[in-house]
């Protein structure tokens, strides 16, 4: 039976094993998906050993998403641009192929959750400039958004994104985050603020149009204070769980040969 899994540290909180195991059962596939805690100093050795143990690929999470790029034989353009990989394929010829499906998952979830959303509705506004934000920025630009506004507490990180991703990116100061929302059609929280046990994301929403689609990458809780506030202003919102589910689908298909469906049952299983 083919093996896949996820490496990270810590790894116990990962929802991926539940998700992939559900799909394996649902599609009657004889395979296994295993969570594996891996320390940074063991990463290279682990990547060499896994194919020999019968692994066809793995997901990669914190703190290994950047380091695997230097150890892979083939890196997709989008993984290189984002600067991180979340999906590895161990090819039969022994080569390690590294991809980043986070941005794909972000857009696929938007398209499934808000079918009438299109990138040409207007500017997109991204709050945050960390690893997750880079994937969101790459995918929004790729999908054809004409103007991408970005703000981050640490301004240099958004300026770095502008210098790498080009002139469609417009940097706003963290203190101007509220102004950034004016005229924005798509608004994304890509910071970790709003997560259970953390402070909520607090930016003035007075300029936010009720026509804007507002989404959050945080999914614990599903309705973050930021999404609740946007809803109160009449905005349609999309929660972050869908991105987690959609980013997992390409890996599952490559490893196990079946494109998984993402529906309410999938959401329920992962939340249980
Ligand atoms: P991830 O890979 O999940 O994006 P990250 O690269 O550590 O993780 O990025 C976390 C994001 O949340 C960053 O945009 C970070 O802002 P900084 O770049 O200024 O650190 C943002 N963030 C985390 N805690 C924050 C806080 N208390 N206030 C404002 N932004 C915060």
The phi and psi torsions of 18 (rounded to 5 degrees) equal -60, -45
Atom of ligand 1 nearest to the CA of 133: 4
Contacts for 196 with CB less than 8 Å, ≥ 6 apart? 220, 221
Q: pLDDT value at position 71?
A: 98
Query: Does 160 contact ligand 1 (Cβ within 6 A)?
Result: no
Q: Catalytic positions, please?
A: 65
Q: What is the pLDDT of residues 38-50, one digit of tens each?
A: 999 999 999 999 9
Burial bucket for residue 255 (CB in 10 Å: 0-12, 13-18, 19+): buried
Q: What is the pLDDT of residues 163-186, one digit of tens each?
A: 999 999 999 999 999 999 999 999
The protein residue whose alpha carbon is closest to atom 5 in ligand 1 is: 130
The protein residue whose alpha carbon is closest to atom 22 in ligand 1 is: 191
Q: pLDDT value at position 185?
A: 98
Pocket test for ligand 1, best of 66, 106, 128 (most atoms within 8 A of CB): 128
Q: Each residue of 179-205: b (16+ CB within 10 Å) or e?
A: bbbeebbbbbbbbebbbeeeeebebeb
Distance CA 267, CA 51 (A): 30
The protein residue whose alpha carbon is closest to atom 28 in ligand 1 is: 153
Residue 4: left (phi > 0), alpha (psi -120 to 50), or beta? beta
Distance CA 113, CA 235 (A): 14
Query: Does 150 contact ligand 1 (Cβ within 6 A)?
Result: no
Query: Does 131 contact ligand 1 (Cβ within 6 A)?
Result: yes
Q: Which domains are delineated in the chain?
A: 3-100+243-271 (3.40.50.10860), 103-239 (3.40.50.720)
Pocket test for ligand 1, best of 152, 177, 191, 225 (most atoms within 8 A of CB): 191
The H or E element spanning position 172 is strand 169-172
**Nearest-CA neighbor of 136 among 156, 109, 160, 113?**
109
The protein residue whose alpha carbon is closest to atom 27 in ligand 1 is: 193
Residues in a beta bridge with 75: 98
Query: Does 61 contact ligand 1 (Cβ within 6 A)?
Result: no
Distance CA 54, CA 205 (A): 51
Tell me what ipTM this predicted complex has: 0.98
Q: Quick one: CA dihedral 218, 224, 225, 231, positive or negative?
A: positive
Contacts for 118 with CB less than 8 Å, ≥ 6 apart? none
Tokens, residue 123:
């500017």
Residues in a beta bridge with 130: none
Q: pLDDT value at position 127?
A: 98
Distance CA 40, CA 8 (A): 9
3-state secondary structure of 80: helix
Query: Does 112 contact ligand 1 (Cβ within 6 A)?
Result: no
Pocket test for ligand 1, best of 136, 192, 224 (most atoms within 8 A of CB): 192
**Nearest-CA neighbor of 53 among 1, 125, 106?**
1
**Cα 28 to ligand 1 centre (Å):** 40
Distance CA 99, CA 11 (A): 20
Do residues 7 and 63 touch, judged by C-beta distance below 8 A? no
Q: Are strands 213-216 and 87-90 parallel, antiparallel or unpaired?
A: unpaired
Query: Does 249 contact ligand 1 (Cβ within 6 A)?
Result: no
Give pLDDT < 50 ranges for the chain.
none
């Amino acid at each position: 039976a083919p093996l896949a899994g996820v490496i990270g540290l810590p790894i116990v909180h990962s929802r991926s094993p539940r998700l992939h195991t559900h799909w394996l059962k649902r599609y009657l596939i004889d395979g296994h998906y295993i969570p594996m805690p891996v320390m940074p100093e063991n990463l290279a050795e682990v990547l060499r050993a896994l194919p020999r143990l019968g692994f066809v690929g793995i997901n990669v999470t914190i703190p290994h998403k950047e380091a695997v790029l230097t150890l892979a034989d083939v890196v997709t353009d989008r993984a290189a641009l984002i600067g991180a990989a979340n999906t590895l394929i161990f090819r039969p010829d022994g080569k390690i192929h590294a991809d980043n499906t986070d941005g794909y998952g972000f857009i696929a979830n938007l398209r499934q959750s808000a079918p009438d959303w299109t990138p040409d509705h207007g500017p997109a506004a991204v709050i945050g400039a960390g690893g997750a934000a880079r994937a969101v920025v790459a995918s929004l630009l790729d999908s054809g958004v004409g103007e991408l506004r970005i703000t981050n507490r640490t301004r240099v990180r958004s300026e770095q994104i502008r210098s790498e991703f080009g002139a469609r990116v417009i940097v706003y100061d963290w203190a101007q985050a509220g102004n950034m929302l004016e005229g924005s059609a798509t608004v994304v929280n890509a910071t970790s603020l709003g997560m259970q046990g953390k402070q909520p994301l607090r930016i003035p929403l007075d300029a936010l149009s009720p026509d804007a689609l507002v989404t959050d990458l945080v999914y614990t809780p599903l309705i973050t204070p930021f999404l609740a506030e946007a809803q109160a202003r009449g905005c349609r919102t999309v929660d972050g769980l869908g991105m987690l589910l959609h980013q997992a689908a390409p890996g599952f298909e490559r490893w196990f040969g079946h494109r998984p469906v993402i529906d309410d049952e999938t959401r329920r299983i992962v939340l249980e």
